[in-house]
A and B are shown apart, each in its own frame.
Chain A
Amino acid sequence: MTLNRRTFLRMAATAPAFSLAGPAVSLVDAAGKEDRFVREARYYKKLPYKKIRCDLCPRECEIDDRERGYCGARENREGIYYTLVYSRPCTAHVDPIEKKPFFHFLPGTLAFSIATAGCNVNCKFCQNWEISQVRPEQVRSYYMPPSQVAAMANDYHCSCIAYTYSEPVIFYEYMYDTALAGHKRGVASVVVTGGYIKEEPLRDLCKVVDAIKVDLKAFSEKYYREIVNGELKPVLDGLVTIRKEEVWEEIVYLVVPTLNDSDREFRELARWIRTYLGPDVPIHFSRFYPQYLLKNLPPTPVKTLERAKEICDAEGLHFVYIGNVPGHPAESTYCPKCDKKVVDRVGYTIRAIHLQDGKCKFCGYPIPGIWSKKLI
């Protein structure tokens, strides 16, 4: 399949148009109407003296009355735990699905992308810290209930709703209900997450979403502790859970010079993926640019990314990509059998897709992924 002129023009025109006009498209400024964003949280336990323990992410914050969890988006009020970001996106855009990035999920389609304020980790390189590391009331937000998100995704010809930019785990209830609303309208849901979530909520989430991309920040606990303020083990467990639940998953690994770019780490990562997830899970090695609290490091040299790819290729992974380097040949998908290019990409643009019923058009080898819309 080749992208036709009409589709290309529609995509090119729609994406920026929505982004710029976003707030004007029937969105209402949320200021001063806080109560409508407040919903009781789904995963928590009540403790004595009006304290609670959050059971959504492995951090398991124990929170006093009137205090918030690490994410800043959930608050204990008189012993009841509430999410403060239900129906409260602070950003909404129409993006190519490749921007997430998802390379094996409905390529060439659009994703209606939303995020609320807050995050359950604090990565020193966060490129969206101005929304992820703030509290909901500290950024301008909009009132968009799940049904409205689904309707807008439909109106903008998006194949899916993407929960992205900040950390969707912290707006779990909103994401969950929006995914259900989307399915009613035939719109899929994809999650872009750090994967720092407990097993029960993750399993429940897997029942309502169609694909999950996990940002695996590194393959060492030290890095997670010092740079991410999180833990590696629960993320790896989550990747296995997603696989078991048979939800399509892809992995992004942001390569930060000197911090997580050793051959040994790449090799251990590749072996772990091959063993626990299988060789068909796509992994994207993404280029780091100095941001937020990590401004004293240079951008990742392209050679480092190529070295990571070489190591993973040699370890037998089938789909290893290089990201944030527009025009690099490793942005495209190659058939593991005949080595022909089956999805030709430049940046976020699809130039050609040589697949037929999910198989390589040249040799018939099945290429794993979701290539046509079929909701769970």
Chain B
Amino acid sequence: MQVFRLQMLRFAGQEPEAMFVLISPRAGVNLQWKIGQRLGMGRAMIQRRDFLRKTVKAGLGAGLGSVFRWEPVEAGPSRRGVVVKAQDARLRRGRSLDTDRLGDLLDAAMQQLFDVDSADEAWKKVVRPGEVIGLKVNCIAGKGNATTLELVELVAERLQRAGIRAKDIIIWDRLNRDLENAGYRIRYRGNRVRCFGNDAAGYDNRLFTYGSAGSLVTRVLTEMCDGFINLPVLKDHGIVGVTLALKNLFGAIHNPNKYHINVGDPYVADVFMFPPIRKKHRLTICDGTIGQYEGGPSYIRRWFWYPNMLLVATDPVALDRIGWDLIEEKRKQEKLPSLKEDEREPRYIFTAADRNHRLGIADIERIRVLNVKM
């Protein structure tokens, strides 16, 4: 069987996604393919299906029933299918958060995920000194149901210990207004941690496309950051089922309103495939110190709870799968119908794991959950 490998190459001064090399070991074919110009797909990442179709049309069909292996460039450490579930029943006294305990919980989770002796060592596997790192928070629901400020401060502090300068940390979400409503202070410049919305940063004028999605991406990702840490909240979503690691990146594009149809499938997965998102994603820390199991993404007190946990993973799909299960579990406890019964099962999580996306592992049997209990 003839084996072709479709491999992405980096060229100096060029977007890495702009070129692929088709390598046929048997025939020794080495065909450079300028996706943008030849196929007229802009800066799109070519889909496996599209690639096959176009290759057949180009008369290179011999032996194409064979195996293709697509090897995306991995940024940062890979822990596919591993999710740390870190819990601390005493994280709160009443409603107020014990920041020291939260810091300990975060450190323990990071150590566990990267299997190292100290949290600092773990963070050094996520970032390199001198990089600019974004922190994608989720603030749409306002104070009370946004990424906890204390958690974000702890992450920023740990990053600084790993060699990232304060001014090279950018806390960001869609709008300045959303950030402010959630208690964040807007700061564009200076030597302290910066914080602003896409409305202030603007969008890159290139149209990124993948599958069914086509969007402009925030300049925070395309121009400012070398990598980002994703900080969603453990939340139900009234249209797409849940909003966790994958869906949080709707906050990086200019047209999220277009992608809630069909329960977000395949749009949530497609958007995450945009190169500035997929390649710059380093880590997701899902804020489960708070949670919304029904009525999300808004804050509705009746269905709000304190799970007192963090979910940490480099695999956004596996994290979403585990987060989804947690929400389902809570819904069951509260005698609410499952998301499937409610016709909003987040199928996009499985799409994100399929052969066209390969963003992580969605098969619950293949996900390894590492429990941390404080």
Contacts and interface: CB of A to CB of B under 8 A. Distances in A.
Interface residues of B, number: 26
B295 interface: yes
B335 to A, nearest CB: 18
B257 A296 contact: no
Interface string A61-98: 01011111111100000000000000000000000000
A293 interface: yes
B295 A49 contact: yes
A124 B257 CA distance: 16
Given A229-B261, A296-B39, A296-B40, A66 B298 contact: yes
A138 B214 contact: no
A296 B41 contact: yes
Interface of B is mostly: loop
Given A49-B298, A138-B203, A229-B261, A66 B255 contact: no
A295 B140 contact: no
A70 B261 contact: yes
B141 interface: yes
A62 B238 contact: yes
Contacts of A67: 140, 297
Interface in B247-299: 254-255, 257-258, 260-261, 295, 297-298
Contacts of A116: none
Interface string A126-153: 0000000111011000000000000000
A135 B254 contact: yes
A62 B295 CA distance: 12
B300 interface: yes
B254 A138 contact: yes
B209 A293 contact: yes
Given A49-B298, A51-B238, A295-B42, A69 B203 contact: no
A333 interface: no
Interface of A is mostly: loop
A286 interface: no
Nearest to A126: B214
A295 B41 contact: yes
B169 interface: no
Contacts of B238: 51, 62, 64
Nearest to B142: A66
Contacts of B255: 72, 133-135
Contacts of A64: 238, 297-298
Contacts of B295: 49
Contacts of B42: 295
Contacts of B178: 66
A157 to B, nearest CB: 36
A72 B260 CA distance: 12
B298 A50 contact: yes
B179 interface: no
Contacts of A293: 209, 214
A134 B257 contact: no
A71 B239 contact: no
A49 B26 CA distance: 63
B199 interface: yes
A32 to B, nearest CB: 11
A67 B141 CA distance: 9
A292 interface: yes
A66 B258 CA distance: 16
B298 A72 contact: no
Most chain B CB within a 10 A radius of its CB, from A71, A122, A290:
A122
Q: Range of interface residues on chain A? A: 20 to 34
Contacts of A295: 40-42
Nearest to B213: A293
B298 A71 contact: no
Interface string B99-132: 0000000000000000000000000000000000
Interface in B217-268: 238-239, 254-255, 257-258, 260-261
Contacts of A68: 257
A50 B300 CA distance: 10
Contacts of A71: 257
Contacts of A69: 257
Contacts of B260: 70
Contacts of B300: 49
B170 to A, nearest CB: 20
A141 to B, nearest CB: 14
Contacts of A51: 238
A290 B40 contact: yes
Contacts of A122: 258
B134 to A, nearest CB: 20
Contacts of B41: 295-296
Interface string B142-158: 10000000000000000
Given A64-B238, A293-B209, A296-B41, A70 B298 contact: no
Contacts of A290: 40
Interface string B168-183: 0000000000100000
Contacts of A65: 298
A293 B298 CA distance: 32
Interface in B52-73: none
B258 A229 contact: yes
Contact of B257 (A66, A72, A292): A72
Interface in A311-332: none
Interface in A280-306: 290, 292-293, 295-296
A51 B300 CA distance: 11
A43 B250 CA distance: 27
A216 to B, nearest CB: 21
Contacts of A134: 216, 254-255
Contacts of B39: 296
B214 A66 contact: no
A73 to B, nearest CB: 9
Contacts of A50: 298
A74 to B, nearest CB: 9
A230 to B, nearest CB: 10
A324 to B, nearest CB: 19
Given A49-B295, A62-B238, A70 B203 contact: no
A134 B260 CA distance: 15
Contacts of B258: 70, 72, 122, 133, 229
10 contacts: A59-B261, A67-B140, A70-B260, A70-B261, A72-B257, A133-B255, A135-B254, A135-B255, A229-B258, A292-B207
Given A122-B258, A134-B216, A134-B255, 11 more contacts: A51-B238, A64-B298, A67-B140, A70-B258, A70-B260, A70-B261, A72-B257, A72-B258, A133-B214, A135-B254, A135-B255
Task: Rank and list the top 10 A-B pairs by shortest CB-CB distance, nearest first.
Answer: A295-B40, A72-B257, A296-B40, A64-B298, A293-B214, A65-B298, A68-B257, A122-B258, A49-B300, A70-B257
